[in-house]
Amino acid sequence: MSQEQFWVLFSKKLSGEASAEELAFLESMIQSHPEWQYAIQNLTDLWRSQPAEDTSAGEDALMLHLHRMNELNISLDGNSQEIQVSTGPVKKLKRWYWAAAVLLVMAGLFSIRSLSGSSNPGDEVAGQVNEISTRPGNVIKLRG
């Protein structure tokens, strides 16, 4: 076996890629070379050692990411591309619609009444007596 093959097998062992047969072969070889033990153990420990992860950077990034999704109107509720509008202003808007509609109806009624009033001006002067002078001395009395 070449030294390259040893390192291929050893790196496969560390990364969990070695077969059972390869592992058994490697172990028997390492055991037959006690002078390797120290280095092999240190390499194995070095491979396994991991620095503690700093989660604060990830938390900041997550906050920015969620803010960005919100800006793009992507909702995490599963309703993508839905524009979020709070219910408060909608209710107020509805009230204004109703008020405007009532005013319009009232204005409409008023104008109909006014129009109908102008077509029968006699209503306002009902009961009044009008006089028309035709020539001096002749007076015609009109009753509405």
Partner 1 sequence: MPENDPIKRLLAAIAFANDQAAYKELFMLLHGRLKQFAYSILKSQEEAEELVSDLFIRVWEKRDQLTSIESPLLYFYTTAKNLAFNRLKQQKRQQNASPEEWLVQLNSIYFDPEQLMMTEEMMRQIRQAINNLPPRCRIIFKLVKEDGLKYKEVAELLQLSVKTIEAQMAIALRRLGKCMQLEIKELNISTPATKKS
Residues that bind partner 1 (CB under 8 A): 1-12, 14-15, 17, 19, 21-22, 24-25, 29, 36, 38-40, 42-43, 45-47, 49-51, 53, 55, 57-59, 61-62, 64-65, 68-69, 72, 74, 76-78, 80
Shortest Cβ 10–partner 1 spacing (Å): 6
The CA distance from 131 to 94, in Å, is: 57
What one-letter code names the amino acid at 15? S
CB-wise, 19 or 128, nearer to partner 1? 19
> From the CB of 88, what's the least distance to partner 1, in Å?
25
Calculate helix-pair angle for 20-31, 3-14, nearest 10 degrees: 120
Determine the Cα–Cα distance for residues 4 and 16; give it in Å rounded to an integer.
Answer: 18
CB 39 → partner 1: shortest distance, Å? 4
Task: Number of helices (H) and strands (E) in the chain: give both, helices first.
Answer: 5, 2
Nearest to partner 1 of 62, 125 (CB atom) = 62
Asked if 103 and 95 touch (Cβ cutoff 8 Å), the reply is no
Q: What's the min distance (Å) between Cβ of 30 and partner 1?
A: 10
